[in-house]
A and B are shown apart, each in its own frame.
Chain A
């Protein structure tokens, strides 16, 4: 919008954003990592050198080499293949839980911010309650009651991330609510739902996009942590956190079993962190760090 005022009417906001994003080398690196992970996840069956579940007991704990690029695990399964399939678990848990948090948080934040008053008070106090739990403990409390597994892990991670989205959306709704164009829409008789959908929510998109990328990183870490503790994804599903956990028993004779899955987690989390940072800088130059 400012670009148009400054006399470059053909540059859309999206193009300006992409221009800023493209100049940021670290952000591009994040985009490449995330793209790479998505390809791995989608094409796992084609890219994995072996069946991730096939056990070759003679090759138990074999060190990385020609037969197994990243070695074999405690059952003689190919670690590289398990890492490739593990990207599916990480991305599915990340995407679905962030989607839950995004929808729930945006809905709660919009209602609280737009309606204000008692509704705002109740919703935000409820979010404060969720935020009062130190990192990991809310998810642990949920999963320990519901039981481990993919669906419950996703739910726990999603609930954990919801207050952050609610808070940031509420903030941006409040800042937009009193703008003249919203008052104008109200004055000509637009309904509340129309004002929210057409005028208020579009202003929250950039902040929600940035949070989504950054919370993908956190969600992948949280899933890995829950699975490491034995509370998340259950064997034999190849989850990176779970693989680190089983590798712990063989640190003396076969440290590679725990090493590579941890690198995979760090790599994926780094990718989403870089992407999120880059998006924040590109979407909102004021927030640049």
Chain B
């Protein structure tokens, strides 16, 4: 098991190196002089030259890459161009808000999506099942920024029950969390339903039923446990959806998280801040998928790790 974890960690290294390279070279896609663009019109040539030097933009790509990696290994994401603050500090300031939102959305997705999918699979093509299938497909099809806006119109502007934006009390968390969770709830319900249907066709389910195990017991103890592996995979992939969706949700609800910071960085043309934020999100996503892989061992003892 330790060897498997080590192997997986080693396999991550080339992917992470590639992610860093890709994030670094996006700056080369910028038409014109990135340093001048970042500083805006009031910049003197000296300021531009200084920024270019500090970003190693005057160095050949391999040198730049090695220096960038070296800085990252020291845990240094650079300084934001606009405010001159350390990117580490900027991200540390906004990170808790995004984690809170993401965890709340993930909790909703699991707590609603999986039970709904199970209920749906119990009697396939029944009224309830058809309803679940249609609603979940609609949930997957709505753009979340629009879902959020519609929730604001109904629950904040018309009913006045919940705040339309900002972060503070638990009330502030409800609408953004529901918004961000909507596609994931739908996705989990669909996946749970289809894997449960597959599992329910297996012989051991019929055996359990024949032995007289109550339906509830069959569903939970025999079927769900086996259906959970593909569901966990989807859960891992959904974290990517949640981290990206946070950009949209945080924009709609003025939620002070990393997503809103990224959008702010883009419009301020602060590519150093943008690169830092994207890098942190990508690394988080890679790590979560590693954890998902490792959790298979717990869920399915048949899986062995050479």
Contact = CB atoms under 8 A, between A and B. Distances in A.
Contact of A129 (B18, B240, B284): B18
Contacts of B131: none
B245 A132 contact: no
Contact of B274 (A26, A144, A267): A144
Nearest to A270: B141
Contact of B243 (A125, A137, A225): A137
Contacts of A267: 141
Contact of A252 (B27, B157, B252, B284): B157
A145 B26 contact: yes
Q: Is the interface of A mostly helix, strand, loop or mixed?
A: helix
Interface stretch (A168-176, A180-188, A191-199, A227-235): A227-235
Contacts of A140: 247, 262, 266, 278
Interface in A71-107: none
Contacts of A147: 31
Interface stretch (A35-43, A201-209, A258-266): A258-266
B248 A229 contact: yes
Interface string B185-212: 0000010011001000000000000000
A144 B29 CA distance: 9
A229 B29 contact: no
A244 B143 contact: yes
**Most chain B beta-carbon contacts within 10 A, residue among A130, A140, A265:** A140
A132 B140 CA distance: 22
Interface of B: 14-16, 18-19, 21-23, 26-27, 29-31, 133, 137-138, 140-143, 145-147, 149-150, 152-153, 157, 190, 193-194, 197, 239-245, 247-248, 251-252, 262-263, 266-267, 271, 274, 278, 281-282, 284-286
11 contacts: A125-B14, A130-B22, A132-B282, A133-B282, A135-B243, A135-B244, A137-B281, A145-B271, A146-B31, A262-B142, A273-B140
